[in-house]
C-alpha cells in the first residue's frame, strides 16, 4: 500500500546527539534490501549523505545533515525536486532547522512526523562505556525511524 500523504519525518535533537549517525544506520539498513542512490551536491559537512530510494514505487529521500537551517532547506528542496513522497531529515530541537521544515511542509503540502532523538550519554563514565551505550541508542533510534517509514505505507 502506498502512503496517501506526502510526509516529512524529522529526527530532532540537540547537537552531537547522534542524529546523523542514526540516519546513516537507516540508510545502511535500506541498502541491504533496496537500491539507494546518492544525490549529487555540496554539503556543509563532508560526512553527510543525501540519498533517494524507491520502495515499492514510493520515492523516499533521506538527508543526514540537520544542524544548519540553510543546509536543511537546500537538501529537502533537492529531495522535493527528486519527487520524494517521504522525506527524512535531521533537525535540531528548536530554532532555524525546525522553522525551515515547518515552512517547507506548509508550502508543499507535506504532513510532518517528528521523532525525538534519544539522549546521548556524555558524563560520569569512561569514554568506551559512553560510546558503547550511545551506539546502542543510535541503533534503537534507527529502528524507530525505519519503522516510521513503513508505518506510512499502512
Read off the pLDDT of each residue in 44-65 and give the average, rounded to a whole number: 87
pLDDT given for residue 61 in this prediction: 96
pLDDT greater than 70 at residue 3: no
Q: What is the pLDDT of residues 69-117, one digit of tens each?
A: 888 999 999 999 999 999 999 999 899 999 999 999 999 999 999 999 8
The DSSP code for 117 is: P
Instruction: Give dist(CA 14, CA 21) in Å, integer.
Output: 13
Read off the pLDDT of each residue in 40-48 and give the average, rounded to a whole number: 68
pLDDT given for residue 15 in this prediction: 82
Of residues 39 and 152, more confidence is placed in: 39
Confidence band (pLDDT; 50, 70, 90) for 41? low
pLDDT given for residue 81 in this prediction: 94
**What residue ranges define each of the domains in the chain, with the CATH number in brackets?**
6-151 (3.40.50)
Confidence band (pLDDT; 50, 70, 90) for 26? very high
pLDDT given for residue 78 in this prediction: 93
**Could you tell me the pTM of the whole model?**
0.90
Q: Which of 18, 14, 12 is nearest to 133 (CA)?
A: 18
- What Cα–Cα distance (Å) separates residue 113 from each residue in 64, 83, 130? 16, 19, 29
Read off the pLDDT of each residue in 3-7 and give the average, rounded to a whole number: 80
Instruction: Give dist(CA 67, CA 117) in Å, integer.
Output: 14
Amino acid at each position: 500500500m502506498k502512503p496517501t500523504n506526502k510526509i516529512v519525518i524529522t529526527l530532532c535533537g540537540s547537537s552531537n546527539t547522534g542524529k546523523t549517525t542514526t540516519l546513516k544506520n537507516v540508510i545502511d539498513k535500506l541498502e541491504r534490501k533496496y537500491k539507494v542512490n546518492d544525490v549529487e551536491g555540496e554539503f556543509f559537512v563532508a560526512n553527510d549523505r543525501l540519498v533517494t530510494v524507491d520502495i515499492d514505487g514510493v520515492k523516499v529521500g533521506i538527508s543526514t545533515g540537520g544542524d544548519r537551517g540553510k543546509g536543511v532547506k537546500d537538501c529537502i528542496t533537492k529531495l522535493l525536486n527528486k519527487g520524494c513522497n517521504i522525506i527524512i531529515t535531521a533537525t535540531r530541537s528548536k530554532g532555524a532547522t525546525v522553522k525551515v521544515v515547518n515552512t517547507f511542509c506548509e508550502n508543499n503540502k507535506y504532513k510532518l512526523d517528528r521523532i525525538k532523538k534519544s539522549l546521548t550519554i556524555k558524563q560520569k563514565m569512561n569514554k568506551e562505556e559512553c560510546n558503547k551505550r550511545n551506539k546502542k541508542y543510535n541503533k534503537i533510534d534507527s529502528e524507530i525511524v525505519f519503522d516510521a517509514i513503513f508505518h506510512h505505507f499502512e
